[in-house]
Amino acid sequence: MKKKILIISGGISKERLISLKTGFQVARELKKNNYIVKICEPNFKLSQIIKNFKPEIIFNALHGQFGEDGYIQTILETFDIPYTHSGVLASAQAMDKEISKKIFLKNKILTPKFIKYSFDKSKKELINIINHKLKFPVVLKPISEGSSVNVYICNKNNFFYNLQKLNIYNQIMIEEFIPGREIQVAIMGDKKLGAIELKPRRKFYDYEAKYNPKANTEHIIPVDLTKKNFNKILNIALKAHKILGCKGITRSDFKFYKNKFYLLEINTQPGMTSLSLVPEIAAYCGLSFIKLLEWILNDASKNR
């Protein structure tokens, strides 16, 4: 008999709908292959559900805050049941864009320049800091969100308009804007799985470009890079995966500009929806969706 798998999806982050889609896709594929599957929300009933269902592995299909930032991982550690993807520390470090970028820089991984902003300066002061450290255009983003939620590319004219939209956060990141090609790399344990290039019809690969089929983002695989550059970007992604202590699958987001790779961030729980990139990269490399999921489940068992 195949294993009993509890899938946790949904949650309360801004990526709830994507998490539900990931959970549904994973559940459908596992059920098709005779696994005993149950889906639940990460709410106050979770402990009782785990106790009653007695899963052999927990598949963490959550995205965003409370799901991939170390919070749910801390809770899952108390059950002594293998769970998928990265653990507490790696998840927390990867989700916090300031911490992860500092770790990248310390380890000589190129990443866009940035400043942290706490809504504590006058407009004039802030503009002076940006002109001195970054230059326009810049990227505004929350420090701890995923899926490009509330990310804006700004010039001087629309900067304060977009900045106002982010005052729901205590702190945000103002980042140097790097033009160029958008390339994503999938890492699978210690293996460099592959890469894919994205050509969004929108301004950049934002939430709509990622999850709205009508956004018509072009997916290019294989990526048109020299062998040397292809190996280089894969090696950077694996290095980032390792220095953060990640487990399982990760997806690293890069910009390629003037023959340099800039690592924007690393995602410890990539989506598994019909539009998600890791399953697409895996399929190109000859790994079916069920084989990808089974590898993730076996990796959870092996690592804990």
Indicate if 251 belongs to the active site. Answer: yes
Q: What is the pLDDT of residue 191?
A: 95
pLDDT at 207 > cutoff 70: no
Say how many CA atoms lie within 13 Å of 149 toward its Cβ.
Answer: 18
Q: What is the pLDDT of residue 114?
A: 94
pLDDT at 29 > cutoff 80: yes
Lowest mean pLDDT among 34-38, 140-144, 158-162, 204-208: 204-208
Would you give the DSSP letter of residue 168?
A: T
Q: Which of 13, 86, 147, 252 is catalytic?
A: 147
Q: Pick left, alpha or beta for residue 248 (phi over 0 → left; psi -120 to 50 → alpha; otherwise beta).
A: left
Q: Is 264 helix (H, G, I), strand (E, B) or coil?
A: strand
Q: Which of 11, 15, 150, 276 is catalytic?
A: 15
Residue that wins the pLDDT comparison between 122 and 17: 17
Indicate if 128 belongs to the active site. Answer: no
Indicate if 147 belongs to the active site. Answer: yes
Indicate if 211 belongs to the active site. Answer: yes
Instruction: For 86-111, write each residue's pLDDT tens digit.
Output: 999 999 999 999 999 999 999 999 99
User: Do residues 5 and 30 lie in contact, with contact meaning Cβ atoms separated by under 8 Å?
Assistant: yes
Indicate if 96 belongs to the active site. Answer: no
Instruction: For 272-284, write each residue's pLDDT tens digit.
Output: 987 789 999 999 9
CA distances from 14 to 11, 119, 146, 204 (A): 9, 22, 9, 19
Q: Which of 69, 253, 280, 294 is catalytic?
A: 253
pLDDT at 215 > cutoff 60: no
CATH topology for 4-91 is Rossmann fold (3.40.50)
- Diameter over CA atoms, the chain: 66
Structural class in CATH, domain 103-110+179-299: alpha beta
- The CATH architecture of the domain made up of 114-176 is 2-Layer Sandwich (3.30)
Query: What residues does 7 pair with on adjacent strands?
Result: 39, 59
Q: What is the pLDDT of residue 298?
A: 94
Q: Which of 265, 280, 294, 299 is catalytic?
A: 265
Indicate if 267 belongs to the active site. Answer: yes
What are the residue ranges spanned by the domains of the chain? 4-91, 103-110+179-299, 114-176
Q: What is the pLDDT of residue 123?
A: 83
Indicate if 19 belongs to the active site. Answer: no
Q: What is the pLDDT of residue 14?
A: 84
Indicate if 125 belongs to the active site. Answer: no
Please count the other Cβ atoms lying within 10 Å of the Cβ belonging to residue 79. 15
Q: Which residue, among 254, 248, 245, has the nearest Cα to 270 in the 3D structure?
A: 248
Q: Which of 251, 280, 294, 299 is catalytic?
A: 251
